[in-house]
């Protein structure tokens, strides 16, 4: 990274000149990457481009204030900043544009994200932490506008925790909480609710966060007059400005082309946030977007000629160039020579990136052409195979898809043939898939020894005269051990702190461990999860509490787009093992009986979804998760806090295994699969069925994602030859997911003598009251009659029709 000198004092003119010209070179280099990048998209070498042109100069100033240990949570136009801190080269820029799947060549995502999405590596290859205080850190970008904001809050809050909570081993993560979290966002995206939710939360929490708003007056084609009241985000946020009597923000404004003032402004913001732990908003105005929003269209369609001309005149690089000349730092000829050298340098970087990207693909192309040539000579359909070979050979710049597709299509012409040449093609296809598929599909979950599924079960143990206690007591006492055992563990949410959560599972713990570790939060689910993501990225062990599963919907976008994909989109180079604690299932009415599991399951791949049937199981899950690397949602049974359970004597150490089902009752006639609150009803019904001669096996799923890794359910079906899934989600929800896992992944269909059945709630949300529950979700009678119906179909003589 460049140095951060005082450009006004204690610096020689020669040093000052060197610093300024180095900045100018970075700005020109970044702009040239944007210009050539757009051309690569238009020629078809790249699929899409979204670039940082027009934002170069303020990003240089931000980079000067950015220190090792700091974190960025940004916007997909921050390429100049990444170049300025030394974390993005032109060759890497183009490797990202071409979607190179080699993490060494394309360190931002190994081709999994489009260009403009940036990251630094927090983890070693074995999944262990690097020393984050010795490097510049960027959390992995996402495309959803303002989606970076909740995570930014957590990155900043981590510094507050490190500064104020004793006992944490912060050696790899913080130096006395001095780190600043830097956020960037476009002016139009400040219209999003996530922006305002985060701004409010950061003001309440008083965390070291600096948020830059890059303001070029547009959101794609929509002008600021349609986006922001008064067309000015800093104007309408004036109420957040701190004063002598009230905490709040420091709000700064600066022109995006004013190099010297930008540097001064960012140094001021850094000092305020770093020393005082006060959030700062910098509104950077009069910026431009020289090539429009992206390669998907031209801004000439929606900007007036006057605006386009103004953008040419006010371009930040142009203004910086003129300032350099006017200040006597360099002549026009000097800068023209710099421009010429950098253009050549970037062009060469582009060429090298493309050559590097294409070489292994071209090697595969030549290899398959040779295989197809030999196959054509031995096959009765050689003429058709030769056509495919010639077609493949004629592609100058093939993709992996082109190559594999030709090979698989050629295989069709050999149906019914047996030859060594065909075997060679089959082997080539299998090898290609085995080597290539992981380039696109690996690292959804941890692939190291820290994977959640590798943590061994520790069963609860009991004293001889163990008491029967409310389930909440088991949770509370287990959390007590957790917070004593892990100084870096903390929990936060609505009503989590002072009253010890709405069901008293944290009773008394705030008084014992303090308001920073057992914390109340506002009614703002998205940023509660965002706090957790950011703090988990920085090595803490956060538990984000969402009061009810129904309210998870507010945070589902952040969980789905950010949390669930962190490990995947960085190809294992960052992790955020956040635990989201919530409660749901059967209670009262539409808004407090959340069981929308099917929707959650389909949106949070990459997150464990755990559904313990009681609080001992839930406690075990928390203990397991705190030792693993994967994020998780734990859904406690809302109607289980007052149910009596036996008190274990190994709280804090018992562990519930993830991805493992439990057979809670053995039987021989039918396999019943359920989870959570409904599982308890199924257990009751299984006992009642014995009276009519039906011996059901009852299996508790426990873990919906991952699901039954040992395939214990199919082993049960081998014995019973029948299966029913009982679930309180809507039809086609979690029951369909479970059935797919059993039939298509475990291949249980081959052992079935009866049609597999699902019994679910009605299509609507549950109505209020006991009757509402009875007529909305599966009741004991519904379950009994559905199971009896299966047995009647199997043996109507032994089980005559019930009704």
Q: Which residues are catalytic?
A: 592
Neighbour tally for 119: CB within 10 Å: 23
Q: Give 581's strand partners.
A: 545, 634
CA-to-CA distance for 566 and 572, rounded, in angstroms?
Answer: 8
- CB contact set of 440 (below 8 Å; sequence gap of 6+): 101, 111, 112
Structure tokens at 112: 């999994």
> Mapping DSSP to helix (H, G, I), strand (E, B) and coil, where does residue 284 land?
strand
CA dihedral 409, 412, 414, 419 (to 10 degrees): 70
User: What DSSP string describes 707-740?
Assistant: T-TT-HHHHHHHHHS-EEEE-SSPTTSHHHHHHH
Structure tokens at 333: 């000829």
CA-to-CA distance for 534 and 269, rounded, in angstroms?
Answer: 21
Distance of CA 535 to the CA centre of its chain: 14
CA-to-CA distance for 738 and 598, rounded, in angstroms?
Answer: 10
End-to-end Cα separation, the chain, in angstroms: 78
- Helix ranges, 220-258 (H): 233-236
CA-to-CA distance for 734 and 730, rounded, in angstroms?
Answer: 8
- CB contact set of 436 (below 8 Å; sequence gap of 6+): 400, 404
Contact yes or no for 433/397 (Cβ under 8 A): no
Q: Would you give the DSSP letter of residue 139?
A: P
Contact yes or no for 367/429 (Cβ under 8 A): no
Contact yes or no for 653/706 (Cβ under 8 A): no
> Mapping DSSP to helix (H, G, I), strand (E, B) and coil, where does residue 222 land?
strand
H or E segment to which residue 670 belongs: strand 670-674
CA distances to 350, 392, 586, 609 from 621, rounded to whole Å, are: 49, 52, 21, 11
CA distances to 601, 670, 753, 790 from 714, rounded to whole Å, are: 21, 12, 13, 18
CA-to-CA distance for 777 and 295, rounded, in angstroms?
Answer: 50
Contact yes or no for 34/343 (Cβ under 8 A): no
Structure tokens at 717: 């079906």
> Mapping DSSP to helix (H, G, I), strand (E, B) and coil, where does residue 56 land?
helix
H or E segment to which residue 645 belongs: strand 644-646
CA-to-CA distance for 198 and 526, rounded, in angstroms?
Answer: 9
Pairing of strands 632-637, 579-584: parallel
CA-to-CA distance for 706 and 609, rounded, in angstroms?
Answer: 7
User: What DSSP string describes 554-614?
Assistant: HHHHHHHHTGGGHHHHTTTS-----EEEEEESSSSSTTS----HHHHHHH-TTSEEE--SS
Contact yes or no for 514/546 (Cβ under 8 A): no
Contact yes or no for 374/410 (Cβ under 8 A): no
Contact yes or no for 579/634 (Cβ under 8 A): yes
Pairing of strands 218-219, 222-223: antiparallel
CA-to-CA distance for 338 and 81, rounded, in angstroms?
Answer: 20
């Amino acid at each position: 990274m460049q140095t951060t000198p005082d450009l006004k004092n204690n610096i020689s003119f020669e040093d000052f000149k060197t610093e300024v010209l180095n900045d100018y070179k970075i700005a020109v280099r970044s702009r040239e990457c944007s210009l050539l990048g757009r051309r690569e998209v238009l020629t078809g070498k790249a699929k899409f481009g979204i670039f940082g042109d027009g934002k170069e100069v303020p990003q240089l100033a931000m980079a000067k204030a950015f220190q090792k240990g700091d974190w960025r949570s940004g916007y997909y136009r921050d390429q100049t900043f990444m170049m300025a801190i030394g974390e993005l080269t032109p060759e890497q820029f183009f490797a990202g544009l071409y979607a190179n799947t080699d993490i060494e060549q394309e360190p931002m995502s190994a081709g999994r994200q489009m260009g403009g999405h940036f990251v630094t590596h927090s983890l070693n290859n074995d999944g262990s932490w690097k020393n984050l205080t010795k490097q510049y850190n960027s959390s992995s970008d996402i495309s959803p506008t303002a989606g970076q904001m909740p995570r930014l809050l957590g990155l900043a809050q981590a510094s507050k925790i490190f500064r104020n909570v004793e006992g944490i081993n912060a050696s790899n993560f913080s130096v006395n909480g001095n780190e600043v979290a830097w956020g960037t966002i476009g002016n139009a995206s400040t219209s999003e609710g996530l922006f305002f939710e985060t701004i409010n939360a950061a003001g309440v929490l008083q965390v070291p966060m600096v948020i830059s708003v890059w303001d070029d007056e547009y959101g794609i084609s929509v002008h600021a007059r349609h986006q922001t009241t008064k067309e000015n985000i800093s104007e309408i946020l004036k109420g957040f400005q701190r004063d002598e009597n009230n905490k709040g923000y420091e709000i700064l404004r600066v022109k995006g082309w004013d190099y010297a003032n930008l540097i001064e402004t960012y140094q001021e913001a850094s000092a305020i946030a770093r020393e005082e732990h006060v959030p700062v908003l910098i509104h950077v105005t009069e910026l431009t977007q020289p090539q429009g929003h992206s390669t998907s269209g031209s801004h000439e369609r929606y900007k007036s000629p006057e605006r386009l001309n103004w953008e040419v005149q006010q371009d930040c690089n142009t203004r910086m160039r003129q300032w350099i000349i006017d200040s006597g730092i360099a002549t026009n000829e000097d800068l023209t020579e710099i421009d010429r050298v950098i253009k050549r340098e970037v062009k060469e970087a582009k060429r090298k990136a493309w050559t590097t990207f294409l070489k292994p693909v071209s090697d595969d192309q030549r290899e398959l052409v040779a295989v197809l040539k030999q196959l054509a000579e031995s096959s009765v359909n050689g003429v058709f195979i030769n056509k495919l070979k010639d077609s493949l050979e004629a592609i100058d710049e093939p993709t992996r898809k082109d190559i594999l597709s030709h090979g698989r299509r050629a295989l069709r012409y050999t149906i019914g043939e047996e030859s060594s040449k065909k075997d060679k093609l089959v082997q080539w296809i299998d090898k290609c898939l085995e080597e290539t598929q992981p380039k696109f599909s690996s690292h959804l979950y941890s692939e190291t020894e820290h994977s959640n599924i590798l943590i061994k079960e520790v069963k609860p143990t009991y004293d001889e005269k163990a008491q029967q206690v409310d389930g909440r007591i088991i949770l509370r006492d287990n959390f007590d051990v957790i917070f004593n055992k892990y100084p870096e563990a903390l929990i936060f949410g609505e009503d989590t702190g002072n009253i010890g959560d709405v069901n008293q599972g944290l009773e008394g713990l705030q008084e014992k461990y303090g308001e920073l570790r057992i914390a109340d939060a506002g009614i703002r689910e998205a940023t509660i999860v965002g706090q957790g993501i950011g703090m988990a990225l920085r090595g803490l062990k956060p538990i984000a509490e969402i009061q009810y599963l129904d309210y998870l919907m507010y945070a589902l976008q952040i969980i789905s787009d950010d949390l669930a994909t962190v490990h995947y989109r960085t190809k294992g180079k960052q992790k955020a093992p956040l635990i989201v604690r919530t409660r749901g299932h059967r209670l009262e009415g539409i808004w407090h009986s959340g069981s929308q599991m099917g929707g959650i399951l389909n949106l949070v791949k990459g997150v464990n979804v755990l559904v313990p049937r009681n609080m001992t199981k839930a406690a075990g899950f928390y203990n397991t998760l705190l030792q693993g690397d994967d994020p998780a949602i734990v859904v406690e049974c809302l109607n289980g806090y007052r149910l009596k359970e036996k008190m274990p004597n190994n709280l804090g150490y018992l562990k519930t295994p993830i991805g493992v089902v439990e057979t809670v009752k053995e039987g021989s006639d039918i396999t019943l699969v359920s989870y959570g609150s409904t599982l308890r009803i199924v257990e009751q019904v299984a006992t009642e069925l014995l009276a009519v001669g039906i011996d059901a096996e009852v299996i508790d799923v426990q873990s919906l994602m991952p699901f039954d890794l040992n395939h214990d359910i199919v082993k049960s079906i081998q014995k019973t030859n029948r299966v029913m899934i009982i679930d309180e989600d809507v039809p086609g929800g979690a029951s369909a997911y479970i059935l797919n896992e059993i039939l298509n992944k475990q291949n249980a269909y081959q052992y079935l003598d009866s049609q597999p059945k699902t019994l679910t709630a009605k299509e609507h949300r549950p109505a209020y009251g006991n009757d509402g529950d009875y007529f909305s979700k599966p009741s004991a009678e519904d379950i009994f009659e559905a199971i009896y119906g299966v047995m009647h179909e199997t043996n109507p003589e032994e089980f005559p029709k019930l009704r």
